[in-house]
Structure formats: C-alpha cells, structure tokens
Structure 1
C-alpha cells in the first residue's frame, strides 16, 4: 500500500481529463428520472440497482457488449432539456472530483431522434457546460470544459460531423473524434473527414488500439493523421521486454514515442473490456517507465463506476506512484489538450503546478 499519498490527496489534486464520454457518465438517478419522463424501460428501478447493472454489464470482457449499455443512456438524451441537464451535471461532477480541465466527447448524430437538429444538440450541450462551469466557479472549484464531437465509425456521417465540429470550434467545441467498435470499421473509411479537418487546421483524436491491435493505431496515425490516440493501449504489442530487462521498441512504437503522440489511457475501462488483465498488469506502467506521452482518463464514469480520483488512486495502489508521478500524467494531459497554447500554459502554471506543489511535488 502507498504511504506517501492518501486518497483524499488524490481527490484534491488538480486533474486533467481528455477522454470522457458524455453518454457514459450520467448519474444513475438522472437516468431513472429521465427514463420515467419518456416511458423508457430500464433493467433496474432503483439508483443502486441501476448503477450495479451498468457496472456488471460492462464487466463482460467484450467491447461490443460494453457498448450495448449505451442504448439506455442515449435513449434518455434526446431532448434539449435532457441534453443540457446531463451536460451541466457532468461538469458539476468533474469539478467536485478535482478536475480543472476536461474534454468531453459525445456523438450528436445519436441524439436527433427526438427532432433536434445537429446544431441545436451541440448548442444544448454548450449551454449545459456553461451552466456547470458557472456553478463550479461559484462553488470555488473552477473548471474549463470543452466538447469533442464524435462520429460513429460504423455509420457514414463522419464528414458531416467533422464540418459541424469546425463550425462550432469558436463556441465550445475543441475537436473531433470517431468511436464505436473497431473491428471491421477501420479509421481509413473516414479519410474524407480527416483530410477535411487537416485542411481546416482542426484537432482530432481517434479511438484506436483498444479492442483491435497495431493496424488500427498505424492507420489512425499514418493514414488519418490523428493528433492523439483514444486508448492506444495495444501499442505494447510493438514493444518487447527481454529477459534481462532490456526493452526493444518496434517501428510504430518508436514513432509514437518519438513524436510525443498522446495516449488517452483509461485503465478501469480497459480492464472491463479485456484490453488489460488488471490495473497492476495494465501497460500504462511500462509506457510510463518508457516515457511515452501517457495520460490518465475515465472513459465512461457510469459504466466503470469510476472517477479521475478512482483512476489515479488505483495507479497509486498498483504502482506506488507519488504526487510527482500524478503531476507528470496531468501535465502530459494539459500539454496534449486541444486548447490554444497560451491557455494550456496558463492552466499548467497557474493551476496544475501550484496544486501539486501543495502535495509536495
């Protein structure tokens, strides 16, 4: 057990979150209330029962089964009021957990069944984030939150969503993402979207190297030009640790490390989907030792029953990390944010470094 940091220390530490899904972070109580309003049937009728159902259903070891749990959260996020509420509560929950900057992703194309246009849906989330940030500021826990607009990799709307992200980039949208089951849906199917984003000088990340291996990462970087890798955990397949402890990096792993391509690692989620056997065996330990641009993230706080405090505390327990290690992860994340350089630097120098200095880092 660690003897330097307490869990409360980790909770108080300033944290930066780059990979968090809006439809994967609802409060169970909110899901219950919104479902009752629209007559949507849920698999449990109590807050604790529903929280347990989401967590257990996500523990199957299958990414595809994990993704099925989103049917219920997306179903209750089809109106202007519900989108704004979920977005506001998301910000409130992150701020209460010590997060000072977050990029929260969601797929507008999945939230238009109730008649909302794509633009109206984005506006609703923007308004909810703004309300949450104002409430956090008033509570003395200031936070900056931006949207990442996600296109679903098994659909054919990625260019449309990319254009949506560019049109909103001066009004709360930081970038673009593609998500969904990797197998059978390579990122190269969406080259027109990525080429458009590159021409528009826009930022984008790609889910790659989670359930699928090195080819997914290679395509995301070398064909599509991703700024960051969502998960990227399978980059370890290109790293050999010899019996004498020496480490050999393959060509792709070397490229990722040499070019400081950020890895949006989500330990708890990776264990649930089978991408890692346990937190202690998660490749994040090796990748941190090798000084890849590793960041720590939650992925889906509802499905994984997690928070940034939980994620970082689990690493403290598994690897004995100190406040200096958590500071390193946090600065990595802030350096990698889709935010202008001066804004990133202001948060690093004005918030992150002083916060960790108070913890002795």
Structure 2
C-alpha cells in the first residue's frame, strides 16, 4: 500500500506539482526505502536499528544526513543497505520504490544502486540485478493496474573507492537488454577521481554504453573534468560545483553579468545535463561556497545561463523529499512558474538514457500533461 505523498500546489494556481508528469534521473535505490519497510526487513534479519518507530526512524535518517558532509551523509546508508541483502528484500524495496515514484507523478525514472554492496547473504551480482529488475517490473505492473503509466530503468553503479569498476561495467552491459540503461560511479568523491575506473570507462565506451558520473558534489572542477575526460560522462551526477567556473563580474537590479570558463562553457554548449538535487546539496555542504539556504543554491544562475538543469531527489529517505517537494522549494526560492517547471522536465527527458524515439515520446507526454494541467 503506497502512502499518499504530501501534496504541493503551484503558487497562484490550483495545480498540484504531484499531478504533473515528471522525470527522475538521480534517485538512489538504497536512499528511497520506507522507514516501515526498513523496520520489517530488519526484524526478519534480527538487525538492530537506531529507532524502532517508523516516524522516529525517518527523523533519524534526516537528522543524521543533515550534517554538511558527504562522508557523514553516506554513513546513513549502512542501515538501508543492511536490509537489502536478500532476494526478497531487494524485490520489495525496488517495487515500493516504483510505487512511490508513481504516487509522485513520475512517468519515467532511472534508479541507481551499487550491486557490489548487496552480496553479504550469498547472492551473486547477476542475481541482485535480476531481483531489483523483478521488483521494478512488479511496481510498473502495480501502476498499470491502477491506471498509471511509468517506466523505470536501472543505472548500475560501481563504488569509486573500490576496485571492481570493470567487473561492474561488464555486469551493466550484460544486462543492457534486461532493464539496465546506464552506468554510474558513486561513493566518496574527494580523493577517488574517475581516472581510477578508467578501465571500466574504456570498456563501456567500446560497448556504446551510456554513463553518468557523480562529480561536482564533494569535489570541484577537477572532478568534473575527470568525469568528462576519463568517464566520457553524458550527464553529471549533481555537477553543482560547475558554478565555480563561472565568474560573476557585476550585478544590477535586472541583470547578472558573468564570464564562463572553458569547462563550464563546454558543459553548457554540449548540453551536458546537471542532475541537481537541491535539498541534498544543502545537507552535504555541496553549495557551502554560495551559502546555506536554498535561495543561495546556484541552480537559478545555471538555469538563467542556459545550462541543462534537472531537478532530482538524490535520496528521498535521507532528505525526506519527493520531486514535487523539490520543485515546490525551488519555486518558492526563485519564483518559478509552470513554464519553468515544464522546462526542467523536458531537460530531464532529453537527458535520459532512452533511445531517441523514446525520448521524443516522453517529451510529448510531458508537454501533453502540462497542457492539460
């Protein structure tokens, strides 16, 4: 049973953000569990949790993640990953993940997760990918039975501090016709550049397999350069610190005058999508150089300059959020209207790892949904 998400209204209208068709590009499977599910799965595995009540547990995740440090933020995943070690647990988590996306009006999503972190109970890499795919398909069936339509693809992720990149890249390609649509590297960014996984990225390029790379969150411009040069990334996971390569020369009441560096100009001109996650970026300190409020986030600067910005949750559990909530927060901070919200969804649709024709169909569905709103 899917809990009804909190509803958010577009200011000045009776339109619900929740009802608008949306695309989710950056959403971690192990960051999207329901607290009640964690408790049930932990009980079956005799695991001790930091809180036994679902509301208290949800608050614990949000409070623990709100640290200003990506390293501390990532520590909360020890709990969620621990309950995702069995086939049954993976199927349930993936199914509910899709159920919750559907309830938030998402019509296409890409879910990223690291199979190498789910092997402690004896499952193989292929078995965990198959279990997650089974859960995804059950979730899409649930949506269809309820009169909704959603499509979800897996982004198989390698942990950047580990040495299994090539093995995980091979796993992703092996399942490319069975639900896996792309590859990612995640985990501690600072000190673990994309070049460490060069063998994996070479393999993926040789097999024409799309890549997104976490970069520009806990590390700066060099990390982004590495994602583009070594990783051949088609999108940047977060990428918010690309704004460090933008020099603000002066501002007046109506305009901001800037100079773009070579790297930021390249990202803009090539329309390399930025998978921005506003609430998460605040929690991890990714935007500390600009401030500590959502209104300080360089999201609007990047949008106004024509970068391919998209809106994401990163981890719905840790940030206690949904895409609808993120859109509402951005609208409140920057005064966006319905046309801006549509642009963000069309940007995301264009950046998906779907075939061109499917991306065009997705864009049409978004445009139709906004026209009918």
CA contact (8 A) 1:268 1:311 kept: yes
- The reply to whether residue 132 of structure 1 matches residue 139 of structure 2 is yes
Paired residue for 2:316?
301
Q: Distance in 2 between matches of 1:320 and 1:10?
A: 15
Q: How does 1:1-361 map to 2 (within 5 A)?
A: 3-5=11-13, 9-244=16-251, 245-276=256-287, 277-349=292-364, 351-359=365-373
Moved over 4 A (4+): none
Q: Distance in 2 between matches of 1:163 and 1:224?
A: 15
Deviations 1:212-246 (A, max 9, x none): 10000011112321111000000000001122431
Q: Distance in 2 between matches of 1:139 and 1:317?
A: 32
Deviations 1:113-148 (A, max 9, x none): 100000010000000000000100111221000100
Using the TM superposition, give the Cα deviation of residue 275 of structure 1 relative to its aligned residue in structure 2, in angstroms: 1.2
Query: Number of residue pairs matched?
Result: 357
3-state SS of the aligned residue for 1:280? helix
Report the TM-score, using the length of structure 2 for normalisation: 0.94
Q: Distance in 2 between matches of 1:121 and 1:64?
A: 26
Q: Which runs of 5+ in 1 are unaligned?
A: none
CA contact (8 A) 1:150 1:177 kept: yes
CA contact (8 A) 1:4 1:322 kept: no
CA contact (8 A) 1:2 1:320 kept: no
CA contact (8 A) 1:205 1:229 kept: yes
3-state SS of the aligned residue for 1:149? strand
Q: Distance in 2 between matches of 1:182 and 1:46?
A: 33
CA contact (8 A) 2:25 2:109 kept: yes
Q: Which runs of 5+ in 2 are unaligned?
A: 1-8
3-state SS of the aligned residue for 1:177? strand
Q: Distance in 1 between matches of 2:118 and 2:334?
A: 40
Q: Distance in 2 between matches of 1:319 and 1:308?
A: 16
Report the TM-score, using the length of structure 1 for normalisation: 0.97
3-state SS of the aligned residue for 1:146? strand
Q: CA RMSD in A?
A: 1.1
Deviations 1:221-279 (A, max 9, x none): 12321111000000000001122431110110000001111110000100000112221
